[in-house]
Amino acid sequence: MEETVQHSIPRIGEKAPSFKAVTTQGEIDFPKQYEGSWVILFSHPADFTPVCTSEFMTFASMENQFAELNCKLVGLSVDGLYSHIAWLRTIKEKISYKGMKDVEVKFPLIEDITMEVAKKYGMIQPGESNTKAVRAVFIIDPKGVIRAMIYYPLSMGRNFDELYRAVQALKAADEFSIATPADWRPGDDVIVPTAGSCGVAKDRMEGKVEGVTCHDWFFCTKKLDKDTVLKAIFKK
């Protein structure tokens, strides 16, 4: 009877598993050397594949936008370093897609032939493939703590606007001690913490708390000026 190998997945709120690896930008010590910065660590199934190519071109084109949020990018696949280098050269020299061309990928792409890193992060999903990493995304904060995770199947490209929005929302939540509602963008109303006592809930519902709008005792929002949010989340 064939044994099923279980690959653990780190959890939100845990420290990001540490590792040292060879990349297209030299050796890295993760997440130690990224302390003080937000990081998106993401995996792709294989070099020289079309969905992955579209993703890397998009990420590379948005790298400066993420950098303005003090967020760095780190990619991974289970292919080797020379394959990575050849693929990234092909992207720059030959591929034109959706107005993007001559795209140079400057962020590190991890060589993970042994799948050691992929297994630490639960990127190998046996239901999809035993030898390829699915499209996993880990958003890691400046203290090295995993704050969000998103997993996509091999066949589905990621939504990069959502990844950018997610970093903005996480930074805003930290900065202002709030939560963000569905589809939140800077300038939209934010959610204030749920009332911790009957008295506070009563005051909110009776309109005694200035600047807070309550849809019910547990669901209250307030305005947060767009410029104030952007100034806070774009500071280093």
Residue ranges at the known binding site for substrate: 135
Round to whole Å and give the CA distance between 200 and 177.
17
Nearest CA to 56 out of 70, 40, 69 is that of 40
Round to whole Å and give the CA distance between 105 and 63.
9
Catalogue the E-assigned strands of 84-180: 96-97, 100-101, 109-111, 135-140, 146-152
Q: Which residues are annotated as a binding site?
A: 135
Active site residue 52: yes
- Marked catalytic residue, from 52, 71, 214, 220: 52
Angle at 60 between CA 56 and CA 64, to 5 degrees: 155
- Provide long-range contacts, Cβ within 8 A and 24+ apart, for 127-133: 128/153, 128/154, 129/45, 129/154, 131/78, 132/45, 132/46, 132/78, 133/43, 133/44, 133/45, 133/76, 133/77, 133/78
Beta bridge partners of 39: 72, 140
Q: Catalytic site residues?
A: 52
